[in-house]
Amino acid sequence: MVATCPTATGVWGWLAKIADPEIPVLSITDLGIVRDVQVNEDEVTITITPTYSGCPAMDAIAEEIRRSAKEHGIEHLHLVTELSPPWTTDWMSDAARQRLRDYGIAPPASSLVQIEAAKPACPRCGSVETRLVSRFGSTPCKAHYQCLSCLEPFDAFKRH
Amino acid sequence: MAAPLVEYLLRLGDNCLILSQRLSEWCGHGPVLEEDIALTNIALDLLGHARFWLSYAGEVEGAGRDEDKLAFLRDAGEFRNVLLVEQPNGDYAMTTARQFYFDTWHFHLLSALQQSTDSRIAAIAQKALKEVTYHLERSTDWIMRLGDGTEESHRRMQHAVDDLWMYTGELFEMDDIDAEMLRRGVGADLEALRPKWTEHLQKTFAKATLEVPPGKWMQRGGKRGVHTEKLGYLLAEMQFLQRAYPGAQW
């Protein structure tokens, strides 16, 4: 195999295929975990940021990036973690929000439409008559709700 | 004594680490499933913060101690957490009171540290504050729910806030290290946090029908490594594996 120098676009391309280990319908680029890619000849620097400070998925994600980099012939990878600016769900695209909804998780409210106090709509029936069951759900990034119309319990991605 | 910055970072990190360990003790024992999940999630956030602070402390110290070595290989006298966070879980009112006192302080401390001249401290504070804001909302809710709940929950909640009151004075105590960090623009003015802390506490207690404890006498020493006997038991459990099997990994 002839070694070719990696390109930033190429790296972004395969990073976009790495799924979040807890929410596999989202990739790590959908979540905004990958902040930057720099390529200098055969050296690749990938900057990532944690979602929640203690999220155990971050170790699995870093491991997957290393594995994937090797698979794509990258010998010299620098994986850098940056905390600033702190991760926010505002970085999540509309397409990603729709995929979350289809998967059964209410997507986070967007700061663009000021609906801070509004409750998430039920991902099953769309009703906005929902109630908070617990501020914490199955992962750090989710809260637990129940729909008062169809009675479905569901996870909602917290706005962060 | 280590460099002031190392001491300061150990204080920040140890508060998070020890409270995280305490909250983890609830795992599988919460009164309801949702609370079990909430407490362990908060423990996880705090563990994440502890890792940020202790990694940085280890780097500044430059003696080859990473976050793991600092967490698992120091003895009680080398821990710099405030006495409040090492207090046992007790009943749910006790855990709630401890969390509320700490969250309110932690929230204002991190708000102040966002302006630190040390960019790494500012970045960690900014990151952690987003999570701690959520912690504070939750513990404030529980103070009101238990305080203004049944006769039994009110009695227990009042007892808990009274019992832990003597550990709150240390939160605002400025010693030489705090003063030096403040002078350099790195640290926060802890005395300036007290009015904000008191205001939130008075407002919340009023809604919760709880009395603000009148006691003036305060326990102190944790920041200098003088701890209650309870810390040793906590460390024995937390550090057992690394002590029995040095360097063990999985």
Q: Kindly state whether B124 is in contact with chain A, defined as any CB-CB distance less than 8 angstroms.
A: yes
Nearest CB to B124 within list A52, A83, A137:
A83
Residue B133 burial (10 A CB sphere; 0-12, 13-18, 19+)? middle
Q: Structural domain boundaries of chain B?
A: 4-244
pLDDT tens string for chain B (250 positions)? 579 999 999 999 999 999 999 999 999 999 998 899 999 999 999 999 999 999 999 999 999 999 999 999 999 999 999 999 999 999 999 999 999 999 999 999 999 999 999 999 999 999 999 999 999 999 999 999 999 999 999 999 999 999 999 999 999 999 999 999 999 999 999 999 999 999 999 999 999 999 999 999 999 999 999 999 999 999 999 999 999 999 998 7
pLDDT classification of A93: cutoffs 50, 70, 90: confident
Query: Distance, in angstroms, between A124 CA and closest chain B CA?
Result: 22
Query: Distance, in angstroms, between B12 CA and closest chain A CA?
Result: 15
The predicted pLDDT at position A112 comes to 53
The predicted pLDDT at position A134 comes to 87
Q: Which residue of B has its CA nearest to A158?
A: B134
Q: Kindly state whether B145 is in contact with chain A, defined as any CB-CB distance less than 8 angstroms.
A: no
Kindly determine whether residue B48 and residue A83, on different chains, have CB atoms separated by under 8 Å.
Answer: no
Assess contact for B40 and B97: CB atoms under 8 A: no
ipTM of the prediction: 0.86
B131 contacts in chain A (CB < 8 Å)? 52-53
Residue B11 burial (10 A CB sphere; 0-12, 13-18, 19+)? buried
CA distances from B92 to B31, B32, B95, B158 (A): 8, 11, 5, 12
pLDDT classification of A1: cutoffs 50, 70, 90: very low
Assess contact for B99 and B38: CB atoms under 8 A: no
Mean pLDDT of chain A: 90
Q: Count Cα atoms within 13 angstroms, Cβ side, for B164.
A: 27
Q: Which residue of A has its CA nearest to B36?
A: A136
The predicted pLDDT at position A3 comes to 58
Residue A62 burial (10 A CB sphere; 0-12, 13-18, 19+)? middle
Residue A31 structure tokens = 């979540």
pLDDT classification of A114: cutoffs 50, 70, 90: very low
Cα A72 from chain centroid?
22
Residues whose CB is less than 8 angstroms from the CB of residue B140 and which lie 6 or more positions away in sequence, other chains included: B100, B103, B104, B200, B204
Mean per-residue pLDDT, A126-132: 92
3-state secondary structure string across chain A: CCCCCCCHHHHHHHHCCCECCCCCCCECCCCCCEEEEEEECCEEEEEECCCCCCCCHHHHHHHHHHHHHHHCCCCEEEEEECCCCCCCHHHCCHHHHHHHHHHCEECCCCCCCCCCCCCCCCCCCCCCCEEEEECCCCCCCEEEEEECCCCCEEEEECCC
Query: What strands, in cross-sheet order, belong to the sheet with A130-134?
Result: A105-106, A153-157, A142-147, A130-134
Kindly determine whether residue B34 and residue A52, on different chains, have CB atoms separated by under 8 Å.
Answer: no
Cα first-last separation, chain A: 45
Q: What is the dihedral of CA A108, A114, A119, A124, to 10 degrees?
A: -50
Nearest to B140 by CA among B171, B97, B83, B106: B97
* Domains identified in chain A and CATH numbers: 8-81 (3.30.300.130), 106-157 (no CATH)
Dihedral pair phi/psi, residue A114, rounded to 5° = -70, 90
CATH class of B4-244: mainly alpha
Nearest CB to B38 within list A56, A83, A134:
A134
Which of B40, B121, B127, B137 best probes binding to A when mutated, by most A CB atoms within 10 angstroms?
B127
Kindly determine whether residue A53 and residue B137, on different chains, have CB atoms separated by under 8 Å.
Answer: no
Which of A 95-134 lie inside 8 A of B, CB atoms? Answer: 133-134
In the predicted model, is pLDDT for residue A19 greater than 90? yes
Which of A 41-60 lie inside 8 A of B, CB atoms? Answer: 50, 52-56
Nearest CB to B47 within list A54, A84, A85:
A54
Nearest CB to A53 within list B37, B49, B122:
B49
